[in-house]
Amino acid sequence: MSPSPPECVRLDVPWLTILKILSAAALVWIWLQVWPIVMVVLVSLVLAVTLEPVVQWLEQRRFTRGLAVLVVGAVTLATFGAFFFAAAAPLTEETKLLVSHVASFQESVAVRVPVAVARVVRRGPQDPAQMMSAIAAKVPEIASAVLTAAAMTLFAFILTLYLLADGRRTYEWVIAYVPSAHRAKAHETVAGVTEAVFAYVAANFLTSLFAAVFVLVSLTLLDVPGAVMLAVLAGVCDFVPILGFFVALTLAVLVALTISPGTAVAVAGLYGLCSVIENYAIAPKLYGHHLKVSRVAVLLGLGTGAAIGGIIGALLALPVVAAYPIVERIWLRESLGKNVLAEHARLEREGE
């Protein structure tokens, strides 16, 4: 009896499935190419939402819409320009002072350790030849990054002004795509998310300003070198919840160690006091009932945002996380049921 021939397996993939796979791959490729522009557009939306109340306030005082937008743009640009102009000289001087302190600290460590370790310490980042060589090698890359950042910042600023000037008509044009049956929910969602985003940006700006002033005064009193630079860094890092605090704290403690261990301990204590005042006295009053999300949700949001869009994605993560309860209340209340929404509302009230 002869063996039966092997069975042939035929894989039949419909053309529609192939088209879907190719479309998905094309979307991924497009996202990888345009995600920086998408991030800039999202930042412009957040800025436009934040500045919209100011424009409306000017309109109530008989400014035309266009003139109000121009005034807001000019004042914003002048404010940032004045800040950078005023901070440039102190930052330059304090950077030189900080470098000299670090070099002295490096030498003081080198004379207290074995010879082999001292050689490694003295060949550290303060070696002038090594620094100049490293900087020279990175000049093209640094120049390209600076030009790209400047172009993106200018694009975001101009787009923000256009959104403020023509945002209402653009919103009405987009909302026309929503089916009539869901248009009321869409308006309610946009209003709620807009309120949450404004609360987030305004409160985050004020808490960051408080952190910068607190750090500047504290480090100046302790005579820590680079107080202005560390204060600016603390204000910038304060925009990133949780993680930003530890970044600013670590750098400040390392700088304070160049003076003495006692100064480093004092700096750590003052940073901790600043965080306690901000989180338990200032932030609850500024945020109000907005952004009542758990620390776990914040960390997951930051990680996801950073993975998708880098630093900008991390900064945009918290408003997105905070918008979920609004979406849940408006769009998912029927599918989730009243009990789930009531339980979530109770947990939010307990977190206040």
Kindly report the pTM of this predicted structure: 0.72
Lowest model confidence (mean pLDDT) among 28-37, 123-132, 159-168? 123-132
**pLDDT, tens digit, 9 for 90 and up, residues 149-197:** 888 889 999 999 999 998 788 888 888 888 888 888 888 888 888 888 8
The pLDDT value given to residue 313: 79
- Provide the pLDDT for residue 145: 74
What is the per-residue pLDDT across 306-339, written as a single tens digit (0 to 9) for each?
Answer: 777 777 777 787 777 777 778 877 877 766 666 6
How much is the pLDDT for 139? 67
- What's residue 129's pLDDT? 53
Worst-scoring range by mean pLDDT, 6-15, 70-79, 321-330? 6-15
Of 210 and 147, the one with more pLDDT: 210
What does the pLDDT read at residue 91? 66
> Please, what's the b/e burial string for 195-225 (b: 16 or more CB within 10 A of its CB; e: otherwise)?
ebbbbbbebbeebbebbbebbbebbeebebb
The pLDDT of 292-313, averaged and rounded, is: 74
For the chain, what is the mean pLDDT? 79
Cα torsion 234, 238, 240, 242 to 10°: value is 100
pLDDT digits (tens, 9 = 90+) for 197-234: 888 888 888 889 999 999 999 999 998 888 888 898 89
pLDDT score for 68: 92
Question: In this structure, what is the dihedral angle of CA atoms 36, 294, 325, 207, given to the nearest 10 degrees?
Answer: -60
Distance in angstroms (rounded) separating the CA atoms of residues 259 and 278: 27
What does the pLDDT read at residue 94? Answer: 65
